[in-house]
Chain A
Amino acid sequence: MTSDPAFDDLYREVILDHYKNPRGHGVIEGADAEAEGQNPLCGDEVSIYVAFGDDGETIEDVKFSGRGCAISQAATSMLMEMSKGRTAQQVATMDKDELLAEIGVPLTPIRLKCAMLGLTTLKVALHKAKGTPLPEGLAGFDDLDFG
């Protein structure tokens, strides 16, 4: 096996844990907001569902379904934990570095797209439901389904 720390970290325990036991995996029937995103590089797909609290702004529940690599699934799982309890506006303006810090390992440009799939899709869902800003130029993403 390799001794390269950057590599050992990429599949470090917390990422594998989120991949094998994803938080918030599932579907919210009658969700207040939802969107579907695809990564054209590998055909991965994710759907995100949001339910707001009584104030209509706070994310009370958020779930995701779909298929993808360990990085995209773990990052989306982490995102579910990070976004619950925040308002739509707060999540819409969440910097991608906040998620990258949570992932905690350097990613190559191609894997960055894997990691950002969930966040981009969640922001699109919020945009459709609440008119919040879209992610900056749909950063690195060129094939989102706005449908």
Chain B
Amino acid sequence: MDMAVTPETTLDARALRRDFPVFEEEIHGKPLAYLDTASSSQKPRQVLDLMRETYEHGYANVHRGVYELAERSTEAYEGARLKVQRLLNAPSAREVVFTRNVTHAMNLVAYAWGLANLGPGDVAVVSELDHHAVYVPWQYIAGRTGATLRVIPVDANGELQLDALDEIASAGRVRVVATNHISNTLGTVNPVERLAEWAHERDAIMIVDAAQSAPHRALDVQALGCDFLGFTSHKMCGPGGAGVLWGREELLAAMEPFETGGEMIRSVRFEGTTWNDLPYKFEAGTPAIVEAVGLGGAIDYLEGIGFDAIQAHEHEVTAYALERLSELPWVKVYGPPLPRRAGIISFNVEGVHPHDVSQILDRHGVAIRAGHHCTQPLMQRLGVAATNRASFYLYTIPEEIDQLVEGLHAVRKVFA
């Protein structure tokens, strides 16, 4: 029996949908059932309006101009940084680096920390659940430095097998553990706190890819006990092009820069250059100013609804979707049971390729993702080339799940 969840706080998804202009769209004559938030979320008017207002009334480059508009722009940009600090319960805003996205954040650590700290005999650890944004940087940097890459395996439910850690530790000196908080493919919620403890017992650092958790649940980097954490704006009601790397100050301070150029310097002389203070040392060039402001607006929007309410709502929707999909014996669902699963469901329809499934679903107004979800090692482990993936958010309503199930019956009919 699944754990009973009685939400303390609730949200009204039907009312919230009115904040999102896209839900007024019809797709092929059907109402839009948007079940691809794990790829990217839709945007509420509040965020769009804020970005437009910023461009119309307070836009200039940041940290440079000595004039009113530049001051407004800098205040808005730095204000967004403070919102991120509060969101993550980070000790200092100096620890909040704006990046383009999670891929950028993960590469920043892999290059700036990994190249300087890894060598032969060292071990970098990732997991079979990881997105290519985590997997590939460490595979690559381990290869360049002569370190070994080890991969935490998953069980048949797609949950990390922590009893494999001892064997992994025997492969050498573990220096870094990087994994996602929530699997973007299976929705598995990973025990990152325990992994962080394990890493720290070995003097290794712990990196968390929070792309799929930051939009959906309250995060506290101090409680998680990690050293770096990355997330991205576009999956949490904000615009694309803005992401965040949070890192412990002492680590960031000791690191060499990742990208060099304007903004990240203190002084440039013919003889050499000194680096700017944190976080600017890692923000070379003009940043995505209004996108960062938009992220700040998205954080306000989500906090206004409440992360507990969002998480509880998604839990209910996921339970309903799992129940409806279980009615279809020709649908195979991957991933862990409900209590340890976030709002993401990967599945396959017997005998039908995900591309064909999603194309037919599209004609029913249903948007899902079909493919390997940038997790090819996991696909290999599951023995499939691709899956269908439905993912949920604060705006998901049961009718969208019904529309999905109806569409799946149509898929079945075409391929009967």
* Chain A residues proximal to chain B, CB less than 8 Å: 1-2, 4, 7, 10-11, 16, 41-45, 67-71, 111, 114
B356:A43 contact, CB within 8 angstroms: no
Contacts of A67 in B (CB 8 A): 353, 385
Measured between C-beta atoms, what is the minimum distance from B17 to chain A in Å?
Answer: 24
A7:B363 contact, CB within 8 angstroms: yes
Docked pose: A39 CA to B328 CA in angstroms:
29
Contacts of B363 in A (CB 8 A): 2, 4, 7
* Chain B residues proximal to chain A, CB less than 8 Å: 28-29, 352-356, 359-360, 363-364, 370-372, 376, 379, 385-386, 410, 413-415
B414:A11 contact, CB within 8 angstroms: yes
Known: A10-B359, A43-B386. A69 touches B353 (CB 8 A): yes
A1:B410 contact, CB within 8 angstroms: yes
Specify the chain A residue showing the minimal Cβ separation from B370. A42
Known: A2-B28, A11-B414, A16-B415. A70 touches B371 (CB 8 A): no
Known: A4-B363, A43-B371, A43-B386. A70 touches B353 (CB 8 A): yes
Measured between C-beta atoms, what is the minimum distance from A71 to chain B in Å?
Answer: 7
Contacts of A71 in B (CB 8 A): 355-356
Contacts of A68 in B (CB 8 A): 353, 385
Measured between C-beta atoms, what is the minimum distance from B338 to chain A in Å?
Answer: 28
Known: A2-B363, A69-B356, A70-B353. A43 touches B385 (CB 8 A): yes
B355:A42 contact, CB within 8 angstroms: yes
7 chain-A/chain-B pairs, Cβ below 8 angstroms: A2-B363, A2-B364, A42-B354, A42-B371, A43-B376, A44-B385, A70-B415
Contacts of A45 in B (CB 8 A): 385
Specify the chain A residue showing the minimal Cβ separation from B385. A43
Specify the chain A residue showing the minimal Cβ separation from B364. A2
B415:A43 contact, CB within 8 angstroms: no
Closest A-B pairs by Cβ, 10 of them: A69-B353, A69-B355, A43-B385, A43-B372, A70-B356, A2-B363, A42-B386, A42-B371, A11-B414, A69-B356
Instruction: Given contacts A2-B28, A4-B28, A43-B371, list 17 more A-B pairs with CB under 8 A.
Output: A7-B28, A7-B363, A11-B356, A11-B415, A42-B353, A42-B354, A42-B386, A43-B386, A44-B385, A45-B385, A67-B353, A68-B385, A69-B353, A69-B354, A70-B356, A71-B356, A111-B359
Specify the chain A residue showing the minimal Cβ separation from B411. A11
Contacts of B379 in A (CB 8 A): 43
Question: Which of B355, B385, B413 has a CB less than 8 Å from the CB of A111?
Answer: B355
Docked pose: A114 CA to B379 CA in angstroms:
19
Docked pose: A44 CA to B415 CA in angstroms:
19
Contacts of B413 in A (CB 8 A): 1
Contacts of B352 in A (CB 8 A): 70
Contacts of A16 in B (CB 8 A): 414-415
Contacts of B356 in A (CB 8 A): 11, 69-71
